[in-house]
Amino acid sequence: MEIFTDITLSWVIFLVVAGFVAGYIDSIAGGGGMIQIPALLFMGISPVHVLASNKIASFFGVLMATIKYATSKKISWYIVFVAILPCLVFSYIGSSLVMFLSDETIKWAILIAIPIALAFLLKKSKKIKKDKEEVTKKRIILSTAPIGFYDGLLGPGTGTYLTISMKKFLSLDYLTATASTKPLNFATNVGAAIAFIFAGKVLWAVALPMGLANIAGSYAGSHFAIKGGEEFIKKVLIFVLIFMLVGNIIKIFVS
């Protein structure tokens, strides 16, 4: 049975399952793109169209996670308001540049970023900062804007990298860091989405069903993150990074 021009019902079910799992993981520790992007590549879609469609699907899930964490009062809005515009701008710049990179360059850049993030995650953290004045605006921007650029340029693991960066450089606890990444990740998704939409790279028949599934997965994942707290989030972060590392190594050396 045909649902869209080139997408059968079986493919829609496949996309929905991938989108739900991606939304669940992404709302807790980021890295949902490492579920969605391989799923889209498996369909035979070109890398640039994959990145664009993944970005639109993630947009919906991150919006849901933002709402969930906001209603639970877990977000540091001071950090979000300082970082959101730089993240948005840098994400747009990254998405504009990625269209000029080769597929091979994109694959290796994603792979190199993962062990760096894992090293920061396993490194002992400084004490948690309670006073917002301890965290300068300059430090906030330097800790988040480069990851906004990465999100637009490459994408996979942005939420993971933002959470780790806030934990290590802004000394937040993991729950606050995870919650605060969501509105920032939402902003970077907006910046990247604008660039991809105007470039005509989004495959809407793929992005929309995956995006709706992302909403459901994101709602479930953020619920368990709030309930499980610091240790639960850290364990999921480690799992996501190892999964990303193994997955990318296999993808590079098998393809």
* Span 20-30, pLDDT tens digits: 999 998 888 87
Q: 48-106, pLDDT tens digit by residue?
A: 888 889 889 988 999 999 999 999 999 999 999 999 888 888 888 887 887 777 777 77
Q: What per-residue confidence (pLDDT) applies to 70? A: 93
Q: How far apart are CA 123 and CA 254, in angstroms?
A: 31
Burial class (CB in 10 A: 0-12, 13-18, 19+), 194: middle
Whether the Cβ atoms of residue 181 and residue 58 lie closer than 8 Å to each other: no
Which tens digit of pLDDT belongs to each residue from 164-217?
A: 888 888 888 889 999 999 998 887 778 778 888 888 888 888 899 999 999 999
Q: Do the Cβ atoms of 193 and 65 come closer than 8 Å?
A: no
Q: Does residue 1 carry a pLDDT above 50?
A: no
DSSP per residue, 144-198: HHHHHHHHHHT-TTHHHHHHHHHHHHS---HHHHHHHHHHHHHHHHHHHHHHHHH
Where is pLDDT greater, at 251 or 16? 16
**Would you list the DSSP string of 57-96?**
HHHHHHHHHHHHHHHTT---HHHHHHHHHHHHHHHHHHHH
Question: 244 pLDDT band (50/70/90 cuts)?
Answer: confident
pLDDT of residue 2: 37
In this prediction, residues 220-224 reach a mean pLDDT of: 92
Which residue has tokens 């997965």? 217
- Note the pLDDT tens digit of each residue in 118-146: 776 666 655 555 445 556 888 899 889 88
Q: What's the mean pLDDT in 9-16? A: 84
Average of pLDDT values for 4-13? 71
- State pTM to two decimals: 0.76
Asked if 248 contacts 117 with a C-beta cutoff of 8 angstroms, the reply is no
Does residue 112 surpass a pLDDT of 80?
no
For the stretch 32-44, pLDDT in tens is 877 888 888 888 8
